[in-house]
Amino acid sequence: MMISFFEHFFEIQKTVHQIIFFWIPFSIGDLLYILLGIFLPYSVIKCFKKKSRSTSLLRVFIIINIFYFTYQIFWGMLYFQTPIIKKLPGQEEPTVEKAKILALKYLEKCKETRALVKEDKNGIFIITDLEKVQKEILSQQAQLPKNISNKKAPEINSFKPSIFKNVMNFTGILGYYNPFTAEAQFNSQLPNTYIPFTSAHESSHQLGFAREQEANFVGYLIGIDSKNAELRYSTEYFTLKSLLNFIIDEDQEFVKSVLKNYSPGMKKDRAYEKAFILKHQGLLDEFFGFTNNLFLKSNQQEGAITYSYFIYLLLNYEKV
């Protein structure tokens, strides 16, 4: 009963915030984080001054508590929603053999869709019209299976490129949802193979799916049957990579065989992704990976690198 209340409250506050902020070309949520990032260190420094110590400490305490309380009201309680897996009939444990069957299926789908999209002069996949992709995502939200989602799809374009994109390149963070402004942030400097599915993932958070792997699954449902080839390719490619990551510890030779059978275009896309990741690896990437992992686990989720729940949902949905 209480979770149902927060689900309805989320729908109201999300719609209000999207109407207020969607037309602004930059991220208001990012601006809020910047202001908070300036205010808190400033207040902490003032704590060392005797004259203003008690006032500054009280101010920091109040701001942190308001921030945390608002986060829980706007977003945190949604982690306690009924898991999607309970909405799927005949639940079965994921197996490597079933994942292999799906991997071969999505390999062929990727190869077919890759032939339909555009390339740059180096033969790497490019998005020709990002706004068209975003509109397609919003349209597909309304087509989700009713047994999985009965959430309202407002079709308000609240996708925003992150102000922190240059830093995000070194963190491994592809995008994020801002619960205070209902904006879906994405890193506009990512390889184009990532951007459509990342946007679909963040739009799933906008719908009210808080768990990361459930947002992946809803993003998959949004993109997998899309008529937009760019969104569909990005979704199929993400799905294939997730399946291979699930399989690799058990059968490296199978994964190598699939990678060898990538189409020439897919091989170029993979090489570009690998070069992007290698260029931006470092301590910041490890730090954010560690802290994000802790955040996910603190919210009743699996760690950031665990694909099993998404694969669990995928295999039960596909019924291999």
Please write the tens of the pLDDT for every residue from 165-201: 888 888 888 999 999 999 999 999 999 999 999 999 9
Q: Look at residue 288 and tell me whether its pLDDT is greater than 50.
A: no
Q: Give the C-alpha distances (Å, rounded to integers) separating 70 from 13, 49, 200.
A: 11, 30, 25
pLDDT score recorded for residue 24: 93
Q: What pLDDT does 298 receive? A: 41
- What is residue 295's predicted lDDT score, i.e. its pLDDT? 38
Within a 13 Å sphere around the CA of 146, how many CA atoms are in the beta-carbon half? 0
Average pLDDT, the chain: 87
Which contiguous run of DSSP H or E holds residue 176?
strand 175-178
SS3 state at 272: helix
Percent share of the chain, pLDDT over 90: 62
Choose the most confident range, by mean pLDDT, from 61-70, 111-120, 291-300: 111-120
Q: What is the pLDDT of residues 66-87, one digit of tens each?
A: 889 999 999 989 999 999 998 8
Residue 185 and residue 177 in contact, taking contact as beta carbons nearer than 8 Å: yes
Mean pLDDT in residue range 227-234: 98
- At 37 the pLDDT is 85
Q: Is the pLDDT of residue 296 over 60?
A: no
Q: Is the pLDDT of residue 289 over 80?
A: no
Residue 225: closest CA among 159, 306, 317: 317
Is residue 273 predicted with pLDDT exceeding 90?
yes
Mean local confidence (pLDDT), 201-222:
95
The radius of gyration of the chain from alpha carbons, rounded to an integer in Å, stands at: 21
Report if pTM > 0.95: no
Alpha helix segments (H runs only) across 210-320: 212-224, 229-247, 252-260, 264-279, 283-298, 308-318
